[in-house]
Amino acid sequence: MTKNRYVLSKTIDGIKFCGAFELALRGHDGTQNPGIFRGLINFSAELDTTLSEHIKNASIFKETSKEIHNDLPDCILEVCHEAIIKQINRASYLAIIADETTDIAGETQLVTIFRYVFNGESVERYESRKM
């Protein structure tokens, strides 16, 4: 179980890295371009024997599966939302700005900005949702 948690943590690190630089997790065609995330995992496996062995031998938990690519970012987002809600609930001051816009596909999006003071520091968080 410790090994699986270690591999999961490395997978999450890769997802967070791609998210921080707004990089796609998968290429559009897995045979020609496996995507930056897969390349990052492969590179990490070259430097990490535990990760390398897992990639070669895993039969169930494949960090490169489509389900992992979809589910893990959603889980990370949920944890972030929970942390932000806790901060907002404990904030000294709170301001909310909301606006809606239409994206290039013609879909309406609601953008909400939360500005608050937490532990004496000004914090600003953005949220966007399709309507």
Question: Torsion over CA of 118, 123, 129 and 131, rounded to 10 degrees?
Answer: 80
Q: Kindly state the average pLDDT of the residues 80-91.
A: 94
> Residue 38: which pLDDT band, with cuts at 50, 70 and 90?
confident
Report the number of distinct structural domains present in the chain: 2
- CB contact at 8 A, 34 and 63: no
With residue 122 as reference, give the H or E element that holds it.
strand 121-130
Please write the tens of the pLDDT for every residue from 94-124: 999 999 988 888 889 999 999 999 999 999 9
**Residue 48 located in a structural domain:** yes
Question: What's 113's domain CATH number?
Answer: 2.10.70
Q: How far is Cα 55 from Cα 63, in angstroms, rounded to an integer? A: 8
Strands (E), 54-119: 93-102, 108-118
**Residue 86 located in a structural domain:** no
φ and ψ at residue 110, rounded to 5 degrees: -100, 125
| The predicted structure's pLDDT at residue 22 | 84
Q: Are residues 99 and 64 in the same domain?
A: no
Q: Are residues 107 and 68 in the same domain?
A: no
Torsional sign, CA 27, 32, 36, 38: positive
